Structure 1
Amino acid sequence: MTIGERIKELRTAKKLTQTDLAKMVGLSYIQIGRYETHKSNPSSDVLHKLANALDTTTDFLMQGSSDDVVSAQLTDRELLSQFKQVEKLNKEDKHLIKTFIDAFLTKRQVQNLAH
């Protein structure tokens, strides 16, 4: 998959038009179309703006890195920000947070089965 294909995929997943995305990053819809059809590649500055607007990373846009697939699909900006902060914690704190999330999700699953 190319940069343009990833931009288009993320843009459509967020239900944005080329015009919407262009306004978010300060470009014309024509330029977004050029990126998506492989007629042009974004500069590094524009790539950063696109990544922010699409709630992903520049690595994902450029390489489709599997490590960043979750970031590309996570649309809750606050939650994404929290996960990025958790990434910086030490091993023990990360384990505690993972245990809490797992316990919460398990509780919800049990509650849903009971109803």
Structure 2
Amino acid sequence: MSHPVDVHVGKRLKQIRTLRRLSQTDVARKLELSFQQIQKYEVGSNRVAASRLFELSQILDVPPAYFFEGLHDNANAAPSEDPGMDIVNALAAIQDEAIKSRIKTFIEDVSGLTVAKRG
């Protein structure tokens, strides 16, 4: 049985990897691992060591704390109740890159990320 923290970290890894439009293979190559290892991280069946988590944060351009954000908020939530992942999956399914880019810009504008990037 996977520990809930490992499952949460794995979900966050999958979320940011998908948002960055990287495949499991892309990330695995940068870490000199197999894509199967990334799969195991993402489902929480294998724990991500602190050093590996740091490497992932550099590759994915997020602070290491990103992987733990919302941990207490989602402690009792079922995996299907994560609207963030629903959005990520829906965005990844869009084939038209121009539309995908416009939606991404819209989300950044609404969330305030566009202003933060400029500032």
Q: What range describes the TM-score normalised by the shorter chain of this pair? A: 0.5 to 0.7
- The one-letter code of the counterpart of 1:39 is S
**Correspondence for 1:60:** 66
- Quote the sequence identity (%): 30
Is 1:16 the counterpart of 2:22? The answer is yes
For structure 1, list consecutive stretches of 5 or more residues without a partner in the other structure: 66-97, 102-115
Query: What CA distance in whole angstroms lies between the structure 2 residues aligned with 1:57 and 1:21?
Result: 16
Number of equivalences: 67
RMSD across aligned positions (CA): 2.2
Larger-Rg structure? 1
Match of 2:45 among 39, 42, 54: 39
Residues 7-45 of structure 1: per-residue CA shift (max 9 Å, x gap): 000001111110001111221111100010110111111
TM-score w.r.t. the length of structure 1 is 0.53
Q: Relative contact order (alpha carbons < 8 A, sep ≥ 6): 1 or 2 greater?
A: 2
List, as ranges, runs of 4+ consecutive aligned residues in structure 1 with deviation greater than 3 Å.
none
For structure 2, list consecutive stretches of 5 or more residues without a partner in the other structure: 1-6, 71-115
